[in-house]
């Protein structure tokens, strides 16, 4: 291995939204950028496999800080990426009468405090009698990850000094005096004075290569169910809050709805610093606590929980809102353990070192991607 | 291969200090559900147990293949009725099995028997032990039926029952809260059936807290769901009115014939009149309270079993 390491201004690990956004951001500033992705394509995991919400904060009635932050970026994201946003549906948030941590009145005052739009509706219009004590028309959209991906890749393609490498795995990372040096499994080596770890569920696995302090997270293997819906449901997105309930809402511009539930979407949980699951043994050597493979195309992916989620949704929704199973998507979701109580979802950006810089980002929301701007422009 | 039921079934089990019984009980229920249903869930309502009940549930839940088992922990001792209401509210099944206790005095097949019976069109099917009831239970149900009219003729000691989603929806729209499920189920106006099973072996299950709770519940239910309180006060008023009238006549007779001590007649007259008024006022208050109770617990004035479509 006498090959010399190629140098870049920025090296980014992970080609999800945060990775590609950062690549484009830096590329536009004339920096040379290398993006390393272990999958064969961009947006292969969490950026694609989630509820595709563009949050305005409704989801966090117990964390006003998260709500206010999402609301701030909501307008900007919808403006910048308008082409991939689906606004053609009415989004209804409802509070369950039983077992909810917040009731209708509390949700209303929360929206007022966060300064986000909410108009009270009659719960009986959508939900079975006695199931919900509040229903609200809100302003929330969904984004189409695949359209967003095409756009970002197209933009990046116009920048000759931004390079994307797919199907490569980082084997080693070493810290030199003024740069980080990455060695791929193939033996190739790269160097940069700025390394961004935007690997979401694999964040701690990359940190482990450097021996840096891991994020305090737990892992949930999650299933997003795609459903075909009837004409009545097509016009709506529903989310029942705030506890063991469900969401059924348009999945970008695909014409399908995503169905998720708090209790049945997570199939299994790992509380270790790096993800350890029993299904890894059945993955045929592809997946381990040190390297997380893509759950969605894994041979050991679990059986769908559709009957459970459908029963839950059917318990609340009136019969005229019909849906049938289309397919399932699986992905790994890291959740900060510190945010369990208030259910907040902060975007955490940690700078482990400056000159050379090493930054890790962990966020569960797409529209807070702008949080990266500050750290990316740092030191220029 | 035997085909499994496609219906989603939920089982709600009441658990209170049952570490010695819940293990076998849960295993039995789990086994029956896994064998017969494609999809099922079990909700153990832990009514503030102070023993290892929850640990036992956790251990047993590892044996589940495709059944979802959850524990609903109550924050303090709520008693059977409220705790089971919470469990049923949480359940998502098309059919819900309610197990009011963890005493396994029935054969596992009984569970499927009541399920099949409900498929015949009974929204509520309950299972009661064969044989003699406890004296106190017998007295309670006798009094209950006497004082409540035709609504609750079927009521009996029940160990478990199955409810259709229809009943649960109906009950939740009829009542703000459900103080005594059996009475509410019986009055919801849908078809019910009771099956009797042969008792396997009898264990004593209720601890002191539960026994005290049952006593209280019996009194509350009699007052809430029957006319017992109102009837009693009406009876007393009637008797006192008659007494007062008698005293009126008696004091007049004494006054005219025997020259009583000065002031005796007026005192007696006053007392008779005062008692008469007092009991009349009390009756009005009791009636008033009864109306309030009806307003609070029974929101809808009518309930129907089904709408039959006779023409095309």
> Does B106 score more than 80 pLDDT?
yes
> Does B303 score more than 80 pLDDT?
no
Nearest residue, CB atoms, B89 vs list A98, A303, A308: A98
State whether residue A2 is helix, strand or coil: coil
Which segment of A121-135, B18-32, B135-149 scores lowest on mean pLDDT?
A: B135-149
Residue ranges of alpha helices (H) inside A17-133 are 17-28, 64-80, 104-114
- Per-residue model confidence (pLDDT) at position B149: 65
Q: What is the pLDDT of residues A354-369, one digit of tens each?
A: 989 999 999 988 888 9
Q: How confident is the model at residue B265 (pLDDT cuts 50, 70, 90)?
A: confident
Nearest residue, CB atoms, B68 vs list A98, A128, A308: A308
- Per-residue model confidence (pLDDT) at position B311: 45
* A275: DSSP letter: -
State whether residue A3 is helix, strand or coil: coil
Residue pair B164/B206 in contact by the 8 Å Cβ criterion: no
- Per-residue model confidence (pLDDT) at position A171: 94
Q: What is the pLDDT of residues A264-284, one digit of tens each?
A: 899 989 999 999 999 999 998
Q: How confident is the model at residue B1 (pLDDT cuts 50, 70, 90)?
A: very low
* B106: DSSP letter: S
- Per-residue model confidence (pLDDT) at position B152: 62
User: In the CATH hierarchy, which fold is given to the domain comprising B9-225?
Assistant: Spore Coat Polysaccharide Biosynthesis Protein SpsA; Chain A (3.90.550)
Mutate to test the interface with B, among A246, A265, A311 (most CBs of B within 10 A): A311
Chain A closest-CA separation from residue B50 CA (Å): 23
ipTM of the complex: 0.72
| Separation between Cα atoms, residue B268 and residue B264, nearest integer Å | 6
Residue pair A9/A192 in contact by the 8 Å Cβ criterion: yes
Query: The tokens of A143 are what?
Result: 């984004």
- Per-residue model confidence (pLDDT) at position B278: 85
Angle at the Cα of A45 from the Cα atoms of A41 and A48, rounded to 5 degrees = 95
> Does A352 score more than 50 pLDDT?
yes
Chain B closest-CA separation from residue A221 CA (Å): 16
Q: Considering only CA atoms, which of A375, A58, A105 is closest in space to residue A237?
A: A58
Percent helix, strand, coil in chain A, to 5, is: 30, 30, 40
What residue spans define the domains of chain B? 9-225, 228-297
CB pairs under 8 A between A and B: 36
The pair phi, psi for residue B156, each rounded to 5°, is -160, 170
- Per-residue model confidence (pLDDT) at position A343: 67
- Per-residue model confidence (pLDDT) at position B190: 83
Q: What is the pLDDT of residues A65-98, one digit of tens each?
A: 778 877 888 999 999 999 999 999 999 999 998 8
- Burial-class residue B256 by CB neighbours within 10 Å (0-12, 13-18, 19+): exposed
Q: What is the pLDDT of residues A368-379, one digit of tens each?
A: 899 999 999 875
| Bridge partners of residue A173, in order along the sequence | A182
What one-character-per-residue DSSP string does A301-321 give? PPPP-HHHHHHHHHHHB-TTS
Percentage of chain A exceeding pLDDT 90:
77
Q: Is B86 on the interface with A (CB under 8 A)?
A: yes
Provide, as residue numbers in chain B, all residues whose Cβ is less than 8 Å from the Cβ of A264.
Answer: 68
CA of B40: which chain A residue's CA is closest?
A308
Q: What is the pLDDT of residues B202-226, one digit of tens each?
A: 666 667 888 888 888 888 888 777 7
Query: The tokens of A306 are what?
Result: 């559709």
Per-residue b or e along A17-40, where b marks 16 or more CB atoms closer than 10 Å to that residue's CB: bbbbbbbbbbbeeebbbbbbbbbe
Contacts of A374 (CB under 8 A, 6+ apart): none
> Does A1 score more than 70 pLDDT?
no
């Amino acid at each position: 291995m006498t090959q010399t390491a190629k140098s870049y201004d920025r090296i980014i690990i992970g080609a999800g939204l945060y990775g590609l956004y950062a690549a484009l951001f830096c590329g536009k500033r004339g920096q040379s950028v290398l993006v390393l992705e272990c999958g064969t394509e961009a947006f292969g995991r969490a950026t694609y496999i989630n509820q595709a919400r563009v949050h305005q904060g409704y989801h966090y009635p117990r964390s006003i800080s998260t709500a206010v932050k999402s609301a701030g970026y909501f307008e900007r994201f919808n403006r910048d990426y308008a082409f991939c946003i689906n606004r053609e549906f009415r989004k209804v948030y409802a509070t369950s009468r039983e077992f909810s941590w917040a009731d209708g009145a509390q949700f209303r005052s929360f929206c007022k405090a966060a300064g986000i739009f909410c108009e009270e509706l009659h719960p009986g219009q959508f939900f079975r009698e006695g199931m919900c004590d509040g229903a609200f028309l809100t302003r929330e959209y969904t984004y189409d990850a695949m359209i967003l991906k095409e756009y970002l890749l197209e933009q990046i393609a116009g920048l000759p000094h931004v390079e994307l490498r797919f199907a490569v795995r980082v084997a080693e990372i070493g810290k030199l005096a003024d740069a980080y040096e990455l060695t791929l499994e193939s033996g190739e080596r790269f160097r940069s004075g700025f390394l961004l770890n935007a690997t979401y569920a694999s964040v701690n696995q990359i940190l482990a290569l450097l021996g840096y302090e891991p994020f305090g997270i737990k892992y949930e293997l999650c299933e997003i169910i795609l459903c075909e819906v009837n004409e009545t449901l097509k016009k709506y997105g529903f989310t029942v809050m705030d506890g063991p309930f469900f969401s059924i809402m348009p999945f970008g511009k695909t014409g399908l709805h995503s169905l998720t539930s708090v209790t049945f979407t997570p199939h299994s949980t790992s509380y270790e610093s790096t993800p350890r699951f029993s299904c890894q043994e059945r993955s045929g050597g592809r997946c381990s606590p040190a390297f997380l493979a893509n759950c969605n195309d894994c041979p050991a992916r679990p059986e769908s929980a559709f009957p459970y989620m459908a029963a839950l949704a059917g318990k609340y929704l009136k019969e005229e809102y019909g849906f049938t199973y289309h397919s399932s998507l699986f992905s790994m979701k890291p959740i900060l353990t510190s945010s369990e109580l208030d259910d907040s979802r902060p975007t955490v950006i940690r700078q482990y070192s400056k000159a050379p810089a090493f930054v890790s980002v962990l966020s569960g929301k797409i529209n807070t991607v702008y949080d990266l701007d500050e750290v990316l422009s740092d030191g220029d | 291969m035997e085909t499994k039921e496609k219906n989603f079934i939920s089982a709600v089990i009441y658990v209170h200090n049952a570490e010695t019984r819940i293990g076998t009980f849960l295993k039995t229920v789990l086994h029956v559900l896994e064998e017969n249903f494609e999809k099922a869930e079990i909700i153990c309502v832990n009514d503030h147990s102070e023993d290892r009940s929850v640990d036992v549930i956790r251990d047993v839940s590892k044996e589940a293949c495709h059944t979802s088992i959850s524990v609903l922990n109550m924050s303090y001792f709520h008693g059977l009725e409220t705790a089971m209401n919470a469990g049923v509210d949480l359940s998502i099944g098309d059919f819900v099995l309610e197990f009011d206790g963890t005493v396994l005095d029935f054969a596992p097949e009984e569970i499927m028997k009541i399920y099949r019976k409900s498929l015949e069109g009974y929204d509520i099917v309950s299972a009661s032990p064969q044989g003699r009831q406890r004296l106190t239970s017998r007295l309670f149900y006798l009094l209950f039926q006497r004082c409540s009219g035709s609504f609750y003729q079927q009521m009996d000691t029940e160990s478990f029952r199955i409810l259709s989603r229809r009943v649960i929806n109906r009950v939740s729209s009829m009542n703000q809260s459900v103080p005594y499920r059996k009475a509410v189920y019986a009055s919801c106006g849908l078809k019910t059936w009771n099956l009797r099973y042969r008792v396997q072996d009898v264990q004593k299950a209720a601890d002191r807290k539960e026994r005290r709770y049952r006593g209280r519940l019996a009194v509350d239910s009699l007052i809430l769901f029957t006319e017992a309180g109102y009837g009693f006060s009406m009876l007393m008023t009637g008797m006192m009115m008659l007494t007062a009238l008698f005293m009126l006549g008696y004091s007049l007779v004494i006054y005219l014939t025997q020259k009583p001590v000065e002031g005796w007649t007026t005192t007696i007259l006053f007392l008779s009149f005062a008692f008469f008024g007092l009991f009349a006022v009390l009756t009005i208050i009791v009636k008033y309270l009864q109306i309030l109770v009806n307003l609070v617990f029974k929101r809808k004035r009518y309930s129907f079993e089904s709408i039959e479509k006779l023409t095309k």
